[in-house]
Amino acid sequence: MSDQPNRVTCHECGAGMDRDIRPMAITYKGHTLTVQQPGWYCACGEGVLTAEDSAATQIDFRHLLGVQDTTRQHEDGYSDKHA
């Protein structure tokens, strides 16, 4: 049993999308970090992230942010509400 679809159709061009891992730049509180983002990607440039994909990147992102800014390492302040 898996809720991961075998194939995702691109909502832009209708082509089949493939699993891939691509670098994605994220800006957060003045930091710009590049994470390796797994997801479904289309040849036309569209990308679709599942909840699982997003969760994987958030863990990676928080780790990177903690390395860059040690003053925040004890603060569970990922949410923008803390901005």
What is the Cα–Cα distance from 49 to 40, expressed in whole angstroms?
Answer: 6
Q: Nearer Cβ to Zn ion, position 44 or 59?
A: 44
Does 56 help bind Zn ion (rule: CB under 5 A)?
Answer: no
Closest distance to Zn ion from the beta carbon of 3 (Å)? 23
> Could you say which of 8, 35, 42, 56 contacts Zn ion (CB under 5 A)?
42
Does 46 help bind Zn ion (rule: CB under 5 A)?
Answer: yes
Does 20 help bind Zn ion (rule: CB under 5 A)?
Answer: no
- DSSP E strands: which ranges in the chain? 8-9, 16-28, 31-41, 47-48
Backbone CA torsion sign across 5, 6, 8, 14: negative
Does 18 help bind Zn ion (rule: CB under 5 A)?
Answer: no
